[in-house]
Structure 1
């Protein structure tokens, strides 16, 4: 999906039209993401509204045409719309007929409404008018909301120097160093998956007002959105906090992007942030240096606490659903056994192999992350006899989370 989105964004207004057509038809696509990105890079809002409306209406009319054929088997097989969805749409329309096409912009229900209009052979002209009205208003509200956000930046917020970071642990490191000199905001909020996250319009605007953007280096979100964000804010300096860290691969040969999950790496990340700050604000470099030294003392204290916890006769191996502790495991001579890689669901044979390995190594702990947990964690926990323990590698409180992981390892 990200590849298709990138392609459409590169086509500008025509990409807006095509994305709106896909979203208006049966294809599960978000034209809002494309519009936000195109607004962010400076395309005219009214032209985007027009192209988006035309594309979305054409998508709705495509659905209308399929519905008008009356082939319920086609509707169910090719459009993935079940009879109960059509019935729900018809109940929603409540006998008002073609004018209910106005609500074709409603998520999930909209496609069923346009198909139902065709299926019921509603008046085409009235359907066209009502669908167009709803779609047009939808894109006006979306575009004007973004423009309004951009114009409502208060003088106070404009005078406060800003830094944007990709994830919460980077906000922790950055805030410890900048103190009260900068305001720090995070693109990927707590509880979101950094591999799939899409920034909001307000976040894109905040990004364009930032002196620095500090990224981890190779998160899925960063790979997908970095070029678009750079184009929107050419003056913002991009800092790769993991630039001097040697990348590690997990047991299955996939590079782990969770570089911050190691106290050794955390010191390198902190130093990278300090160097970037000293370059853009040399007058405060002494202040930043003092804060950096205090942060390094905290990191060293975390390291001592982890080592103390790991001397308590704990297993040297652990299970984890998503392999986020590769750097942690290497630093403390532990073995990480991942259940899945790169978001791919493991097969039954792979699950059995993981369970067998865990039994052989007498593993007692299965770390799970809320954004990745699913039914496979229960299968592995039950099969291996390991205890499920939730961790949050994206927690703002990096220092507490690192020690907590060592404490919870059995």
Structure 2
């Protein structure tokens, strides 16, 4: 009986998504539609989100990544040829990174048929620790961009999965059942990783980790850990900012400084020397999302 109920719910969800997709297509009116033959051609901003798309879309998606291995997503400047390549996609999934504004503006001005899907939709964006300010000076956080690293929080990943599912259904309404099934399998995978990490990090609630670039906030928030960042406003810290970070790290009893291969580690090593800590390299970008999450969790647990 439970199996029958699950199948009924799945069928109803697929039907609702198909109807929404049909309504969207009808509202588009005279716009020329992209071909619905073959896999949905998709680009995702970063490798972890490309993994989400592949898990949900399976063989029905052809996924590319805007930011390649070792590239800094915050300083990346797409060339005209790269933007032209993105214009061949049916869907571009964005996540609020700085470089995306140039791509989106160019694609829209060119009149391409690429659907821009914002994966931050429905997510309560956290504030970036990188927006350092002198505590003695009045400061407002109004209009500051939120933290775009939403692929590292299990709760946020579940929201993104639903957004991806809906976008794929809009592109291929006839494949709604397959996309719903892919979504359900992927969410089950997220739940399993979440449970493993919760057990691994249970004794670390209330502790602090020190990183160079504040990419791990959704991860640390989810598991009750505080993230302290060396970087200040996307730039190398000033001597005053560095001193404040050192004082905070000493007060928190930090024994490990996490460096990231995409960033210069000079400041990180200086802080490590000042507080007598070791350095450990971790990354927030990998195309194997489950393994990425587990590596981050193990690195924090072993600090």
- Per the shorter chain, which TM-score range? 0.7 to 0.9
1:225-236 matches, within 5 Å, as 225-232=103-110, 234-236=112-114
Post-superposition CA distance 1:230-265 (Å, at most 9, x none): 323521111001111011113446631111110000
- Tell me how many residue pairs correspond in the alignment: 252
- Partner of 2:237, secondary structure, is coil
More helix per residue: 1
Question: Is contact 1:369-1:391 (8 Å) kept?
Answer: yes
Question: Is contact 2:78-2:99 (8 Å) kept?
Answer: no
Correspondence for 2:88 among 186, 191, 209:
209
Correspondence for 2:184 among 293, 301, 306:
293
Post-superposition CA distance 1:185-227 (Å, at most 9, x none): 11111111111212345533332221111111x1011123320
Structure 1 CA distance, aligned partners of 2:160 and 2:205?
29
TM-score by length of structure 1 reads: 0.58
Do the aligned partners of residues 187 and 349 (structure 1) sit closer, same or farther apart at CA in structure 2, a change above 3 Å counting?
same
Q: Which has the higher contact order (CA 8 A, sep 6+)?
A: 2
Post-superposition CA distance 1:379-409 (Å, at most 9, x none): 0111122221211112111211111111111
TM-score by length of structure 2 reads: 0.78
- For the aligned residues, what is the CA RMSD? 1.9
Structure 2 CA distance, aligned partners of 1:247 and 1:261?
12
Structure 2 CA distance, aligned partners of 1:162 and 1:370?
30
Post-superposition CA distance 1:84-115 (Å, at most 9, x none): xxxxxxxxxxxxxxxxxxxxxxxxxxxxxxxx
Which residue does 1:184 correspond to in 2? 63
Shift of 1:341: 2.6
Question: Is contact 2:39-2:59 (8 Å) kept?
Answer: no
Which residue does 1:68 correspond to in 2? none
Question: Is contact 2:87-2:114 (8 Å) kept?
Answer: yes
Question: Is contact 2:107-2:114 (8 Å) kept?
Answer: no
What residue ranges of structure 2 are gaps of 5+ in the alignment? 1-36, 133-140
Correspondence for 1:368 among 259, 275, 278:
259
Shift of 1:306: 1.0
Correspondence for 2:194 among 299, 303, 318:
303
Structure 2 CA distance, aligned partners of 1:363 and 1:215?
34
Which residue does 2:298 correspond to in 1? 407
Shift of 1:323: 0.7
Structure 2 CA distance, aligned partners of 1:219 and 1:179?
26
- Partner of 2:202, secondary structure, is coil
Correspondence for 1:281 among 139, 152, 172:
172
Structure 1 CA distance, aligned partners of 2:53 and 2:292?
17
Structure 2 CA distance, aligned partners of 1:174 and 1:230?
23
What residue ranges of structure 1 are gaps of 5+ in the alignment? 1-157
Question: Is contact 1:207-1:233 (8 Å) kept?
Answer: no
Structure 2 CA distance, aligned partners of 1:296 and 1:166?
20
